[in-house]
């Protein structure tokens, strides 16, 4: 039995097992079987998402710097290399951009 299947069974089988040994109402039994496991799953999913967002936030500044460097390189290639065909289009061919 793999890791996910084990925890899935633990979440869904724990409330009925507990209710079997404790004499409580039918409504509490239904609530524990059909509502509590989903609340636990949503809670675990929320923790996972918050953890991933913390990691993504740590890398966001480096992603922005990477995009900036790539953009600067593309502008350098277009404006700087005279043998590139695009350089003649983007530099000094339109008078309004020659200022």
Residue range 16-46, pLDDT digits in tens: 666 566 666 777 777 777 777 787 888 888 8
Q: What is the structure's pLDDT at 28?
A: 73
Contact 35, 15 (CB under 8 A): no
Q: How confident is the model at residue 59 (pLDDT cuts 50, 70, 90)?
A: confident
66 vs 94, residue with greater confidence: 66
Residues whose CB is less than 8 angstroms from the CB of residue 86 and which lie 6 or more positions away in sequence, other chains included? 78
Q: Rounded to an integer, what distance in angstroms lies between the CA atom of residue 37 and that of residue 18?
A: 13
Query: Angle formed by the axes of helices 36-80 and 26-34, to 10°?
Result: 20
Does the predicted TM-score (pTM) go above 0.75?
no
Instruction: Please state, in angstroms and as integers, the Cα–Cα distance from residue 84 to each residue in 73, 77, 90, following that order.
Output: 14, 8, 11
Q: How far apart are the first and last CA of the chain?
A: 71
- pLDDT for res 87: 47
| Mean residue pLDDT across the chain | 69
């Amino acid at each position: 039995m793999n890791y996910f299947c084990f925890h899935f069974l633990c979440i869904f089988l724990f409330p009925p097992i507990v209710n079997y040994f404790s004499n409580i109402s039918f409504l509490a039994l239904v609530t524990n079987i059909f509502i509590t496991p989903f609340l636990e799953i949503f809670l675990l999913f929320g923790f996972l998402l918050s953890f991933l967002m913390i990691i993504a936030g740590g890398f966001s500044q480096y992603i922005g710097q990477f995009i900036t460097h790539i953009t600067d390189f593309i502008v350098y290639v277009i404006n700087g290399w005279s043998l590139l065909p695009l350089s003649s289009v983007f530099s000094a061919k339109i008078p309004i951009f020659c200022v």
